[in-house]
Chains A and B, each alone.
Chain A
Amino acid sequence: MTVVDKSVAIPGDLLSDDASRAGEGTYVEDGKVYAHYYGIINDREKIKIIPITSKYIPKRNDVIIGIVTDIGFSNWIIDINSPYDALLHISEYPERLEMYNMSKHLRIGEMIMAHISDVDYKMKTELTMQDEHAGILRNGRLIEISHNRIPRLIGRNGSMINMLHKECKCKIFVAQNGRVWLSGREENVDLACEAILKIDNEAHTSGLTDRISEFLMVNKGRIS
């Protein structure tokens, strides 16, 4: 009787009578599942609601791209494109450093790739750079898209991102917080940026991978 017949949910919408199907973005009351967000319904075994727009909220083990905003006594304070700031402790830097020369290695305004080692109940977020893909990102280009669309940019089993890598012949790092870092030849990066912004704009449409593939084919002549 309460089969979901449309793709968009509004907070308070009844989604299912079966409480065991409650997924992310839903809540259960009196054994029924309701929507928490204004978002797109993902109706698999579990019903999930993916908000159309929302702020990035840090989660443990996410890989993020951050920008150093301040240096504390033994931490760097990192902007992670979220209402919450993150902390990178001196001991989580790949090399052993002393407090007095922190700013020699990582300065305000620099960009890092790191992963979230812990988020506590007060949303105090801690980062670590002792990780294989962690590092400082110098030279290259950063673009920001909505973090809700990152799964589309990666594609199923990485299909979308692999295609971009192959066709644009440049380095692309995608972080969970909606930041994408690219480096390579100017023309190649230009094309990759355009493709990514196209994905961001058309994230909710079907057949996206095919359309992006077509877009890359048409513009193939621009890259070297």
Chain B
Amino acid sequence: MNAKPEKFIIDGLRLDGRRPDELRPLKISAGVLKRADGSCYLELGANKVMAAVYGPRQVHPRHMQDATKAIVRYRYNMASFSVGDRKRPGPDRRSIEISKVCRDAFQPVVIKERHPRLAIDVFVEVLQAGAGTRTAGINAASVALADAGIAMKSLVASCAVGKVDDTLVLDLMKEEDNYGQADMPIAVIPTTGEITLLQMDGHLTRDEFGTGFKMAMEGCQKIHEAQKEALAKCYQMKDDGGEQVGE
């Protein structure tokens, strides 16, 4: 569909005109679904994801329940129409792995001991994919969890860094992800700087890893601000007595 571009960075700017340390345009709205306990719709560049949180609620099947704390379940799913060629619907090897690592990204922030025997269910639906869906999903899920009134240590923010044309770039877009030299998504607790997810494919030198990590961390801080803003705005909407409608 899109062939490998000859150069990724021309005159210091990337294919879509961003500087190497710039995020794609980000839009977050909280509380968009009525039936879910908490929800969030997020757009990051070409990505469109919807996150819904149910719970705390009773665990089915019962054998999964934990008598001492709540369990967190996370389902990452790509819609069949989210990519160019129709994706065969349902969980596959890739989405099962992503669900697992994203679930683990939330384990340290959710106060599970508050709700013994219950489950907190997170559903992330990728409606349109354009590189970095797991990070977009984590960002949306984090806002949805807060919106559901779940006790948390903090929000989680997530962002990827990568390497193209031997240059470190923040928040990869599709071409950079497909043909770049490295891709490293991270998720952090922005208030403390603790890492809850770190994956990498491709190659980075030790120095590149260090600087790349710092870039991603700064990206996460920016995303964290946007998440907070979205939640504050959602409250404002409720305050005005208005129903929130997607733009």
Contacts and interface: CB of A to CB of B under 8 A. Distances in A.
Nearest to B154: A12
Interface stretch (A3-11, A68-76, A137-145, A160-168): A3-11
Contact of B154 (A11, A25, A55): A11
Contacts of A115: none
Interface stretch (B78-86, B141-149, B202-210): B141-149
A202 interface: yes
Contacts of B153: 11-12, 27, 34, 36
B149 A54 contact: yes
B149 A11 contact: no
Interface string B176-195: 00000000000001110000
Contact of A51 (B58, B149, B155): B149
Contacts of A11: 109, 146, 151-155
A36 B152 contact: yes
Contact of A10 (B38, B116, B189, B228): B228
Interface string B99-123: 0000000000101001111100000
B235 A8 contact: yes
A52 interface: yes
B200 interface: no
Nearest to B233: A8
A53 B152 contact: no
Contacts of A10: 146, 155, 227-228, 231-232
Contacts of B11: none
A12 B151 contact: no
Nearest to B113: A121
A66 interface: no
A102 interface: no
- Give the contact-size bracket for chain A: 20 to 34
Contacts of A13: 228
A38 B146 contact: yes
A122 B151 contact: no
A54 B231 CA distance: 15
Contacts of B38: 53
Interface of A: 6, 8, 10-14, 25, 27, 34, 36-39, 51-55, 57, 83-84, 121-123, 201-202, 204-205
Given A54-B149, A204-B239, 19 more contacts: A10-B155, A11-B146, A11-B152, A11-B155, A12-B153, A13-B228, A52-B149, A52-B235, A53-B38, A53-B147, A53-B149, A55-B56, A57-B115, A83-B55, A83-B115, A121-B116, A123-B115, A201-B241, A204-B238
29 contacts: A6-B232, A10-B227, A10-B232, A11-B109, A11-B146, A11-B151, A11-B154, A12-B152, A12-B153, A12-B154, A27-B153, A37-B150, A37-B152, A38-B146, A38-B149, A52-B149, A53-B148, A54-B150, A55-B37, A55-B55, A55-B149, A57-B114, A83-B57, A83-B115, A83-B118, A121-B116, A122-B68, A202-B241, A205-B239
